[in-house]
Amino acid sequence: MQKLIEIMQRLRDPDTGCPWDREQTFSTIARHTIEEAYEVADAIQREAMDELRDELGDLLFQVVFYTQMAREQSLFDFDDVVHSICTKMIRRHPHVFADEKIESADEQSRAWERHKSEERRRKGGTERPASQLDGVAHSMPALIRAGKLQKRAADVGFDWPDIEGPIAKVTEELAEVRAELGVENNQERLEAEIGDLLFACVNLARHAQVDPESSLRLANLTFERRYRAMEQMLATEGRQMSQLDLEAMEQLWVRAKAEER
């Protein structure tokens, strides 16, 4: 770890460092951090453990990059970051590091949220947070943020009692999308209705205990795999996808699915 920190210090050295690394700021690095996090998730999804090792290193390097920039501005350093997370983990796990009793993962999740809520209250300096939804970052991917907003609301009882509610809501929102499709010059309203439909789908996934981001990522991989199989089938015949009509494409898709099974 110390060697990695020293490498980062040399890269940022104002005289002998790398020009690109020296020019970076917190804002310019942020998008790279998001990319690295997605590459970690992708390696896990594909069960590519050798790649995961390397991707985790890339993600760790992002943390070191931020802490070096913060150190240069006398804000904090790597040790401060480690101390902060160690303190937080101990504080949020009193059933492990103290004498609190927790019997299940469900109970632990509720306790975790209680601890986070108390931390938000203390940071805000008020008796209670301004909103139950405080702290859900706007920069999160929309599917993930939707799920977190819904879970926060559910923690205080604003939720359907079972999965039938979300199923009915998806059906209702789909009907509203259909209604807007028949209206001219109504793109803004259509966008809002499709957003409501997606939000309802996230709620359905939450009630089904399915992570919507992982679920959609899996659907993307499935579509890509089958589409590539279709292209390969055509390539063996010396043809391309653009030469087929929609009916022929559909037949080829069915064939790709059958061969996959």
Give the tens place of pLDDT for each residue, 224-241.
Answer: 999 999 999 999 999 999
Average pLDDT, stretch 137-158? 90
Could you tell me the residue ranges of all domains in the chain? 2-92, 214-260
pLDDT given at position 195: 96
pLDDT given at position 127: 53
Average pLDDT, the chain: 90
Tell me the Ramachandran region of residue 13: left when phi exceeds 0, alpha when psi lies from -120 to 50, beta otherwise. beta
CA 162, CA 208: separation in Å to the nearest integer?
A: 9
Q: What is the DSSP letter of 128?
A: S
Average pLDDT, stretch 46-61? 95
Percentage of residues in the chain having pLDDT higher than 90: 70
Its pTM stands at 0.65
Least confident of 93-97, 101-105, 168-172: 101-105
Average pLDDT, stretch 80-87? 96
- CATH code at 2-92: 1.10.287.1080
Place 120 in a pLDDT band, splitting at 50, 70 and 90.
low
CA 72, CA 12: separation in Å to the nearest integer?
A: 9
Say if residue 129's pLDDT is above 70.
Answer: no
